[in-house]
Chain A
Amino acid sequence: DAKTTQPNSMESNEEEPVHLPCNHSTISGTDYIHWYRQLPSQGPEYVIHGLTSNVNNRMASLAIAEDRKSSTLILHRATLRDAAVYYCILRDVRQGGKLIFGQGTELSVKP
């Protein structure tokens, strides 16, 4: 399985942008990059995903490096409710639909 590397933890101030990095140097051509987050005492929830091009949705933006060996999840204005563990996941269509989670990045947001 392709591996991802994320910092264990990051801090942010409320209403400031947050850039959460993910390295995936062994990514294959069929791997999509997915991000999920898990708020305290809840199940994970989908944030965003992409293959090659940068992606935007109402929650976040995903910036993918040209060589696809790294990506960055961008929260444009962090709120206290964004405090969560963020997981960067590579999904290979050949492996079926399962998600392979790593340790993730625990984001704390200070008021």
Chain B
Amino acid sequence: DTGVSQDPRHKITKRGQNVTFRCDPISEHNRLYWYRQTLGQGPEFLTYFQNEAQLEKSRLLSDRFSAERPKGSFSTLEIQRTEQGDSAMYLCASSPGDSFQETQYFGPGTRLLVL
């Protein structure tokens, strides 16, 4: 078990460009979560998947954001037409899917800087 991995770890882009992040959850974890964290703040929930189904989306997830988990394994988060306000750490977490009180295991995050 190698834990949750995220790629890339760092991304610098220019305003208006599209970016895509990848998250590989712990093997056989059915639930996958995306969070965003800005400097000095706690992580904020964006969306979550149960297998390949996207079951909840936060109001923070504007129409420029899209997340997928096509085969119920890895997930991608795409941001179109990036804005400077999108600069943040994007965190992915996974959990087995047995209980809503279960532990979430977080990846190291992808730090995005939009110039």
Contacts and interface: CB of A to CB of B under 8 A. Distances in A.
A93 B101 contact: yes
Contact of A44 (B44, B100, B106): B106
Interface of B: 4, 31, 33, 35, 41-45, 48, 55-56, 91, 93, 95, 100-109
A103 B56 CA distance: 23
A99 B34 CA distance: 10
A68 interface: no
**Sorted from nearest, which 8 A-B pairs have the closest CB atoms?**
A43-B106, A101-B42, A46-B103, A98-B45, A97-B100, A93-B100, A101-B43, A44-B106
B48 A98 contact: yes
Contact of A96 (B35, B41, B48, B91): B48
B62 to A, nearest CB: 18
B67 to A, nearest CB: 14
Given A32-B101, A96-B56, A43 B41 contact: no
A34 B100 CA distance: 12
Interface of A: 32, 34, 41-46, 49, 85, 87, 91, 93, 95-104
A45 B45 CA distance: 15
A104 B42 contact: yes
Q: Is the interface of A mostly helix, strand, loop or mixed?
A: loop
Contacts of A45: 105-106
A81 to B, nearest CB: 17
A79 to B, nearest CB: 21
6 contacts: A41-B108, A44-B106, A96-B55, A102-B42, A103-B41, A104-B42
B42 A91 contact: no
Contacts of B107: 43
Given A43-B91, A43-B93, A49-B101, A97 B106 contact: no
Contacts of A87: 42
Contact of A98 (B4, B33, B41, B106): B33
B108 A99 contact: no
Contacts of B48: 96-98
